[in-house]
Amino acid sequence: MAKTFFGLVAIAAVALAAWVAANLVLDGDGDEGWTAAVIDDAGNEVDDDNDDDDDGRLSAVTIVGGAPRLVLDAETQQRAGIVTRAARPAAHAARIAATATVLDIAPLIALRDGYIAAAYDAEVVGVETGALEQEYQRLRALYDDDANIALKIVTRAEAAWRIGEARLRRTWARMHALRDRARLEWGAVLADWAFDDKPDIKPLTDRSEALLLVALPLDRRLPPNAETISISHHGGGLDAFHISPAVATDPLMPGETHFFRCDGDGLRAGMRLAAWIAVPGSERTGAAVPTDAVVWSLGQAWIYVQVAGDQFERRVVPTDAEIDGGWFVEHAVAPGEKLVVAGAQMLFAEEFRWQIRDEDDD
């Protein structure tokens, strides 16, 4: 009994402010405007504690199927500011929790710029080498025709041409090395976008889009055909689109990694975001519970459902399946049921005020 009492006291403390507000809203000295009664399963009003301290109130607690319901007439609901809204249908799929890190694409662009510079060098060296080859061939032809030309001049011309060819091969090797490095560090898709100047790279370079490194838990893999995932940003969801597998790892999430792209508004390099990856074939149907319908107490989420015109039932709702604007629930609420979206805290306070009084009477 003592344990129950202290638990109810803790709950009542959470609801105290709403209870006070409820009494003020209802224009009374604390009790005026509310009914005090307990209704049995047959719908008959009974005295809950054989005294007369229930007289004059307009709230009642009834037990239906072992669960308490709060009863308020229409006038009292209006004065208390009770507002309901039909629960909308919702679907939800099992999701893999991952992390997304916004990457700085500058190192890839630096490799691309080095490649372009090497390509220009190769073009210059190629022209020079071509001219040196022609000069060597001219001098060699003169020498072979017994013209008045020394062999050492021909030899020097050939050496200059061969040196030019070596310089050209070195420049080509530098170009290939830069591209290979980009492929190793960034993957073939991103490297080709950058080095071939594909249109896909421009939104990443002008920062209208952000490049993300998405890391999965060690024991999970990206589901097949998972082209789009959800990123949590500014309290909402942001779609991100798959680019390619990644080579780099995340030290805080050392699992499989992939590159994704998303809208870059408000994102800066180095930011870490929560990512959610839907698992195909795991979709469930249920209802959406908006955040303004939830009353929190002792770490538990509760809602009130208007099960009849004058009756409200409190239910616990899981909060493990977050969706935009609230939570997905599969069993606690059915689509179309009326959720209290304004005044739920007052209902909570009133219901537990009765439970505390019953404990006191015991």
Q: Can you give the pLDDT at residue 54?
A: 46
Q: Among the three residues 202, 235, 253, which one is the final residue of a domain in this structure?
A: 202
Specify whether 131 is located in the same domain as 193: yes
Please give the Cα distance from 354 to 319 (Å, whole number): 27
| Tens place of pLDDT per residue across the chain (362 aa) | 444 444 444 444 444 444 444 444 444 444 433 444 444 555 555 444 444 444 444 457 777 777 788 888 888 888 888 899 999 999 887 788 899 999 999 999 999 999 999 999 999 999 999 999 999 999 999 888 887 888 999 999 999 999 999 999 999 999 999 999 999 999 999 999 999 999 999 999 999 999 999 999 988 899 888 899 999 887 677 899 999 999 888 888 889 999 999 999 989 999 999 998 988 777 788 999 999 999 998 888 999 999 998 899 999 999 888 788 888 998 889 999 999 999 888 888 887 775 555 544 55
Q: Are residues 63 and 111 in the same domain?
A: no
What predicted TM-score, i.e. pTM, was given to this entire model? 0.59
Residue 206, φ and ψ in degrees, nearest 5: -90, 5
Q: How far, in Å, CA of 102 to CA of 260, rounded? A: 10
**In the beta sheet, which residues pair with residue 231?**
238, 275
Indicate which CATH number applies to the domain containing 325. 2.40.420.20
Residues 64 and 20 in one domain: yes
Distance, in Å, from the CA atom of 47 to the CA atom of 73, rounded to the nearest integer, reads 19
pLDDT in tens, 258-301: 999 999 998 999 999 999 898 877 778 899 999 999 999 888 89
Structural domains counted in the chain? 3
Chain length of the chain: 362
Judge if 222 and 194 occupy the same domain.
no
Listed in order, strand segments (DSSP E) in the chain are: 35-39, 45-46, 58-64, 67-72, 83-86, 89-92, 95-103, 209-215, 228-233, 236-245, 257-263, 272-278, 284-290, 295-297, 300-308, 311-316, 322-323, 326-329, 338-342
CATH number at residue 228: 2.40.30
Angstrom distance (rounded) from CA 204 to CA 211: 7
Residue finishing a domain among 140, 173, 202: 202
Same domain, 112 and 178: yes
The residue from 175, 202, 229 where one domain ends is: 202
Nearest alpha-carbon partner for 236 in 322, 301, 321, 303: 322
Tell me the C-alpha distance between 124 and 189, whole Å. Answer: 29
Same structural domain, 188 and 122: yes
- For 23, 294, 299, the CA distances from 10, given in Å and listed in that order, are 20, 18, 12
Helix (H, G, I), strand (E, B) or coil at 207: coil
In the DSSP assignment, the letter for residue 146 is: T
For residues 348 and 102, the answer to whether their CB atoms sit within 8 Å is no
Domain that holds residue 198: 106-202
pLDDT at 146: 80
Indicate the burial class of 146 (C-beta count within 10 angstroms; 0-12, 13-18, 19 or more).
exposed
Bridge partners of 275, per DSSP, are: 98, 231
The phi, psi pair for 111, rounded to 5°, reads -65, -40
Return d(Cα 78, Cα 76) in angstroms, integer. Answer: 5
Instruction: Answer yes or no: do 192 and 219 share one domain.
Output: no
Does residue 325 contact residue 290 with C-beta atoms inside 8 Å? yes
Tell me if 348 sits within 8 A of 302, measured CB to CB: yes
Same domain, 64 and 110: no
